[in-house]
Structure 1
Amino acid sequence: MTEPTAGNGTQPPQMKMHVLGQFVRDMSFENMLMRQEGNTSVDPDIQVQVGLDARKRNADHQYEVISKFNISSKNKSDGATMFLLELEYAGVFHIENVPEDQIHPFLMIECPRLLFPFVRRIVSDVTRDGGFPPLNLENVDFLQLYRQEILRRAEAKKADNETADA
């Protein structure tokens, strides 16, 4: 069986990606429930906000991708905050042979997808160690997050252009 080839008879370069490292960049957990007196009935309402950031590093083909999670739990009965968790988890990636027009979506979709199982474990451990049942995050659709961010930027740019034209 022959490999597909480019028009000049040579095979296009194979995309390469290696995770060089991953780490907790910043984390904060506050157990507000234990500070409150007398409130023993809890019915949690969990809110998860996800943000992403990526930047080129000084070394060739290296990028840092940061997943930012802000998680809060409020009691449905009285709206009191039970806990707050802020986590920035970063990965350093060596990426080669990804076309320039595809590097941004690759960094914002595929790289966070690889980091997410580690984020899930950290969130579970921290909430458990913080006095709550372990919080097992649902899967995050990074493709949908990326699409929403592109739409948000396009709308903001359109609004800026309309303001400038006025």
Structure 2
Amino acid sequence: MVKIDPAILPRTSNVHYLGGKDYKELPAYLKGWEVATLLFADNESTKFISPTKTPEYLAAGNPVVSTPIRDVVRPYGDLKLVQIADNAADFGAAIATALTQREDADWRQRTDDYLATISWDQTWQDMVDLMLQRLAAKTPDAATAAGTQPAVKVSEVPLPDSAPRH
């Protein structure tokens, strides 16, 4: 609903616009959904968008259908964790497939297995490790030190007092 004029939205009895909600309310909403959808226009603004709702919806156990956003197609679509569709007919078929996934033990296990490999903390740690490797490769003394000292962990990296920690 961001950047959309409310006046152009359809007004029918089966469509309800709830307005902005607090993030902590999301689990209660997700509980009532059969399929989550990620609907994005195909334009320059969405070319490099990375919808963070994808893993959240999946973690809630909800099958997901998305328009073909690059960061949803790869990896989620490629791994058959999310259904991808770019037109109305395909979207309807994708929703029909997604409705069967909730009871698909293989899909649920593959989804859980994949989600267990991703987190903000892991991404941060991977970035720290990569920077340390690059520094060690450029500095002979650092390479020696890197081989004898333990790796830096996310919890050891100083952040400003205002930065959130998870």
TM-score strictly above 0.5: no
Name which structure has the greater RCO, CA cutoff 8 Å, separation 6+: 1
User: Normalized against structure 2, the TM-score is what?
Assistant: 0.26
User: Normalized against structure 1, the TM-score is what?
Assistant: 0.26
